[in-house]
């Protein structure tokens, strides 16, 4: 257990302490996952009293909401960074999937965001996070419009759909590990057809084509 840190008094000290707590929370989440994540253990890992921890985050879900916000910023920057002037739909979809899955916190927290995490945070934290999410997704939509030749409205619809699709395919790779087993070809082919990347890319390409084809006249 780390010794308890001196009390943060200035605003800068409080912001620094909050980030220290979140850094410890990120490591704790990586080690134990969502269900076993403990505020008591987080207090020990971050070197603060449990009562002090609750001055920064009143619920476990407020910690997760902050971690998701950080992961969204990391992912969006990784995705946008180095995008070419134009991309084929499939290349775009593969890049979106690979960068999302590469961040250890992004998809696991996205899956739980709307049906668990956001239900157990203060209204003020929820509004703050929604504004951050809207801003970051706006950046992704702007970049997507450029590389795919979409309007801003089409790109906004695409980014929202991609988030829903990521949640939908997130559990596809959770089957038993068959590495080293002699799996019949037909069974392996069937299993491969349900891999999250293939499901995501195939359906994401369908979504892009559908958005391009919709001129808004049925809205």
- Domains defined along the chain, listed by start: 1-57 (1.10.10.60), 60-213 (1.10.357.10)
**What is the model's pLDDT at position 195?**
78
Question: What confidence tens digit (pLDDT) does each residue in 25-44 have?
Answer: 999 999 999 999 999 999 99
Tokens of 135: 């801003």
Task: Kindly give the confidence (pLDDT) of every residue in the chain, 219 residues in length, as a single tens digit, with 9 standing for 90 and above.
Answer: 444 555 666 778 888 899 999 999 999 999 999 999 999 999 999 999 999 999 999 999 999 999 999 999 999 999 999 899 999 999 999 999 999 999 989 999 999 999 999 999 999 999 999 999 999 999 999 999 999 999 999 999 999 999 999 999 987 565 555 567 776 766 656 555 557 899 999 999 999 999 999 866 444
CB-CB neighbours of 90 under 10 Å: 13
**What is the model's pLDDT at position 170?**
83
Place of tokens 């003020």: 124
DSSP code string of 155-172: HHHHHHHHHHHHHHHTTT
Tokens of 186: 């037909």
**What is the model's pLDDT at position 1?**
40
Burial code of 208-217, b = ≥16 C-beta within 10 A, e = fewer? beebeeeeee
Backbone angles phi, psi at 83, to 5 degrees: -65, 140
């Amino acid at each position: 257990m780390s010794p308890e840190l001196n009390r943060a008094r200035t605003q800068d000290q409080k912001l620094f302490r909050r980030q220290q707590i979140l850094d410890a929370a990120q490591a704790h989440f990586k080690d134990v996952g969502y269900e076993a994540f403990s505020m008591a253990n987080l207090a020990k890992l971050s070197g603060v009293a449990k009562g002090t921890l609750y001055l920064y985050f009143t619920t476990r879900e407020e910690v997760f909401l902050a971690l998701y916000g950080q992961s969204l910023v990391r992912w969006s920057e990784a995705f946008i960074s180095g995008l070419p002037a134009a991309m084929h739909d499939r290349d775009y979809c593969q890049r979106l999937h690979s960068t999302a899955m590469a961040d250890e916190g992004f998809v696991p927290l996205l899956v739980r965001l709307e049906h668990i995490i956001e239900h157990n945070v203060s209204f003020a934290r929820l509004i703050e996070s929604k504004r951050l999410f809207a801003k970051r997704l706006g950046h992704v939509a702007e970049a997507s419009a450029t590389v795919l030749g979409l309007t801003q409205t089409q790109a906004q619809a695409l980014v929202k759909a991609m988030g829903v699709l990521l949640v939908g395919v997130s559990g596809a790779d959770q089957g038993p590990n068959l590495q080293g087993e002699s799996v019949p070809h037909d069974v392996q082919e069937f299993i491969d057809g349900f891999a999250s990347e293939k499901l995501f890319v195939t359906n994401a390409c369908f979504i892009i084509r559908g958005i391009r084809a919709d001129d808004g006249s049925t809205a």
